[in-house]
Structure 1
Amino acid sequence: MRLDKFLKASRLVKRRTVAKELCDAGRMDVNGRVAKAGTELHVGDELTIRYGQRVTVVRVRQLVDNPRKDAAVDLYEVISGEQGAVDGE
C-alpha cells in the first residue's frame, strides 16, 4: 500500500492531499529514510511523521484499504509522540 494512502486510511492524516504534501516536504521517514508519497509500505515498517513541532513515530501493524473508523487505530501502534490526526498545514 502507498504511504499517502496508508496515512489517510489509518487517519493519522485527515486528507490524502495533506499526506502527499507532508511527503513532498520531506517530513516523512520510513525506516529512517525520507519517503515519497508513493513509497510502498509493509507490515512492521516504522514511520516518522514530523508536523509543526511534533514528531510521531508509529509501526505499521496491518494494511487495509478502507477500514472502519473504529478499526483505523488497529492499523498502527504508536512508538513515541502523540496519537491523532494532522490538520492541513
Structure 2
Amino acid sequence: MRIDAFMNATNIVKRRSIAQDMIDNRVVKIDGVCVKASRNVKVGDVIEIAFFEKSQFFKVLKIPEIKNVPKSLSYEYVEKIVS
C-alpha cells in the first residue's frame, strides 16, 4: 500500500491529499529517509512526521485490506511511538 493511502486509511491524516502535500513538502520520512508518495509501506516500517519542531513516530503493525479503517480499530494497524 502506498504511504499516502496508508496515512489516510489509518487515520493519521483526514485526507489523502493532505498526506500527499506533506510528502511533497518533505515532512514525511520512513526509517529516516524522505519518501515519495508512491513508496510502499511494509510491516515494521517507522514513519516519522515532522510537525513544526517536534516529530511524531508511527510503527506499521499491519497493512489494511480496506480503504478506510474505523478510528476505533486504527490501533491494530499503526502504533504511535512516544519519544
Task: Could you tell me which runs of 5 or more consecutive residues in structure 2 were left unpaired when the two chains were aligned.
Answer: none
Superposed, which structure 2 residues align to 1:39-50 within 5 Å?
39-50=39-50
Superposition deviation, residue 52 in structure 1: 2.6
Tell me how far apart the structure 2 counterparts of residues 51 and 15 of structure 1 sit (CA, whole Å). Answer: 17
Note the aligned Cα RMSD (angstroms). Answer: 1.3
Superposed, which structure 2 residues align to 1:30-45 within 5 Å?
30-45=30-45
Provide the residue aligned with 2:14 in structure 1. 14
Superposition deviation, residue 50 in structure 1: 1.1
Which aligned runs of 4 or more in structure 1 are off by greater than 3 angstroms? none
Task: Could you tell me which runs of 5 or more consecutive residues in structure 1 were left unpaired when the two chains were aligned.
Answer: 82-89
Superposition deviation, residue 45 in structure 1: 0.3
Using the aligned pairs only, state the percent identity.
27
Number of positions where the alignment pairs a residue of Structure 1 with one of Structure 2: 81
Provide the residue aligned with 1:74 in structure 2. 76
Superposition deviation, residue 60 in structure 1: 0.1
